[in-house]
Structure 1
């Protein structure tokens, strides 16, 4: 295979890896986490069940399963690519190394989440709070790590770097804004029962 053909294949693998990971973490992971955090509190689908469970939980689980699957696909793609570097790229090796390290931490966290989900204790178990905290912590770590991981690889691109950095920045800002808005709504929802009780007492 000629150098140009090899280089074209490597570029396609890199693009495929990036596309899959963007879907995994910008689309699926962030949406699934929002369902977990706010679906129950905001009473999303509280009057209906889907396969015997609350709709918010089924949405949370299904979307994050997609996140794990796409993450593993992205991992396979980058393993197929190996350590081969595209010819025209003279990129910052330290940033790429940091990207890889964070990426493997994220993949490990995603697999750990799947394992914990499969073997989680029942809702009434005395150990349930331990599972909840570990599950939440690992999920937050994976998601938080995904942000610099995406920015690191975007910073070494030669093509479309500015556009991707803008998209990632807007996405990060959107996550912050939507979390603030939902936290305010959550706070107001939690105040409502107390307000009703006070009115009833009066």
Structure 2
């Protein structure tokens, strides 16, 4: 009886870990990264700053702080589970090992980002461009690796694997299409500005970006929820 109970707890820890990571990397991480890449000139009406800092930076920092906290929470849950054998683990050890490796890289990247954020140099520092490049590269690596990490786990689950794969494929396709659209808008915005460094952008581009950011949040949320529901049905 105690063995059955222990197994149930381990599976629950796995499901809690998966739920947190899905929500973190599909909803929070994507939104925070989009603000950093495409939201630097965003404004709400005449409001360009919130609490003394640019709108994009406040959203980017707040969202990714949440993402860092939830990622570490999910990591702690899987550590609490330990190396105990479960049904899901035995289905495909190679894929789950690859998932674990990607997970460690993602967590390490998050810790690096937190450390860099706490000790970053000032905007006028000669080393600022180095910080910017490393910060951007580490963030892209973490987000990129999160996609195959989720796919790997979905591929070894027992129930509704096809449904999981379809949802993840839709998510991946949406991200690719969204990035392409935002890149086009970014270059069009630069082309229509008198100066590329101008701290504003045409109203139509600002409105379109706000719409796309909201659309991304809603799409991410609508795909993450069924993923989590299916996960808890395993």
Q: Same fold (TM over 0.5)?
A: yes
| Deviations 1:131-188, CA, capped at 9 Å, x for gaps | 0000000001111111111111111111232222111111111100110111111111
Match of residue 150 from structure 2: 150
Name the larger-Rg structure.
1
The equivalent of 1:200 in structure 2 is none
Unaligned stretches of 5+ in structure 2? 196-234
Unaligned runs of 5+ in 1: 196-202
1:47: how far off? 3.0
Question: C-alpha separation between the residues in 1 aligned to 2:151 and 2:63?
Answer: 23
Aligned-residue Cα RMSD (Å) equals 1.6
For the pair 1:37 / 2:37, whether they are aligned, the reply is yes
The question of whether the paired residues in 1 share the 8 Å contact of 2:7 and 2:86 is answered with yes
Q: CA deviation at 1:114?
A: 0.7
Q: Structure 1 residue 140 and structure 2 residue 140: aligned?
A: yes
Q: Distance in 2 between matches of 1:88 and 1:143?
A: 24
Q: Is the 8 A contact 1:7 1:87 kept in 2?
A: no
Deviates more, 1:1-10 or 1:64-73: 1-10
Structure with more relative contact order (C-alpha pairs < 8 Å, separation 6 or more): 2
**Structure 2 length-normalised TM:** 0.79
Shift of 1:3: 2.4
In the TM superposition, what is the alpha-carbon distance from 1:89 to its structure 2 partner? 5.9
Q: What is the SS of the residue equivalent to 2:193?
A: helix
Q: Secondary structure at the match of 1:186?
A: helix
The residue matched to 2:91 in structure 1 has which SS?
Answer: coil
TM-superposed CA distance for 1:90, in Å, is 3.3
Could you list the per-position Cα deviations for residues 90-136 of structure 1 after superposition, in whole angstroms to 9, with x for gaps in the alignment? Answer: 31101111111110110000010011011111111111100000000
After TM superposition, give the deviation of residue 85 of structure 1 in Å: 2.2
Aligned to 1:115: 115
Q: Across the two proteins, how many residue pairs are aligned to each other?
A: 194
Aligned 8 A contact 1:102 1:149 in 2: yes
Is this contact kept in 1: 2:28–2:64, CA < 8 A?
yes
Q: Judge which range, 55-64 or 161-170, deviates more.
A: 161-170
**Aligned positions of 1:1-202 closer than 5 A:** 2-41=2-41, 43-45=42-44, 47-87=47-87, 90-194=90-194
Instruction: Measure how far apart 1:38 and its partner are.
Output: 0.5
Aligned equivalents of 1:158 and 1:55: distance in 2? 44
C-alpha separation in 2, matches of 1:187 and 1:113: 28
